Copies of this chain bind each other. A is one copy, B any other.
């Protein structure tokens, strides 16, 4: 039986916004290289960087009815996550639904399917990450679950998890771990800034990270082109 779960908990928006600033690659590293969605999920415009609380939505193939149901559950700062129950590339949403989502405070959408009206969405500045761009319309015959745990593009997403999305793709952070991941991400960023300066000055990663000994242990050898042996 299709179910809508109301009043699911969210992650604090201050933490969410901090994760947005860190960006997908850093957040993904900070939580041990986990949580990425498949890399064929791409943004419809670039550059873009946004984070929000997962508002989850399951849809039947070729049927976007649940998205209308999901809109009502949205709260400011949410990020709609849509997954079809079997693979589909149809254009599940366009500028009308985007207008409605924006009116409810939703910051973006990730969908393991297609999106349409992308010129209009780009003009609105409403970001969507999708597997396809397709004008193919959908029907309203089969409702699905809203605000239940789902897998989207290979990743497990719970309602209220944090979705961070930018030019590199999309990563999900568990609600319970969001604050800790943010802390880890921020210390990574500080560290990277200093490393980046040294690399820009011509220092080698081989030296900064002290790799030469370990490389030799692994058997790496150097030869000269003119005298290969």
Contact = CB atoms under 8 A, between A and B. Distances in A.
A190 interface: no
B62 A25 contact: no
A220 B143 contact: yes
Copies per complex?
A: 6
13 contacts: A5-B223, A5-B224, A8-B225, A25-B91, A25-B94, A47-B119, A60-B62, A71-B206, A87-B89, A88-B88, A96-B196, A97-B205, A118-B168
B91 A62 contact: no
Interface in A101-121: 102-104, 114, 116-119
Interface in A22-39: 23-25, 28-29, 33-34, 36, 38-39
Contacts of A192: 96
A69 B221 CA distance: 11
A18 interface: no
Contacts of A97: 199, 205
* Centre residue among A6, A38, A47, A62 by max chain B CB count within 10 A: A62
* Centre residue among A122, A133, A159 by max chain B CB count within 10 A: A133
Contact of A28 (B133, B136, B199): B136
Interface string A1-19: 1111111110000000000
Given A2-B218, A139-B141, A143-B218, 4 more contacts: A4-B220, A5-B225, A39-B136, A68-B211
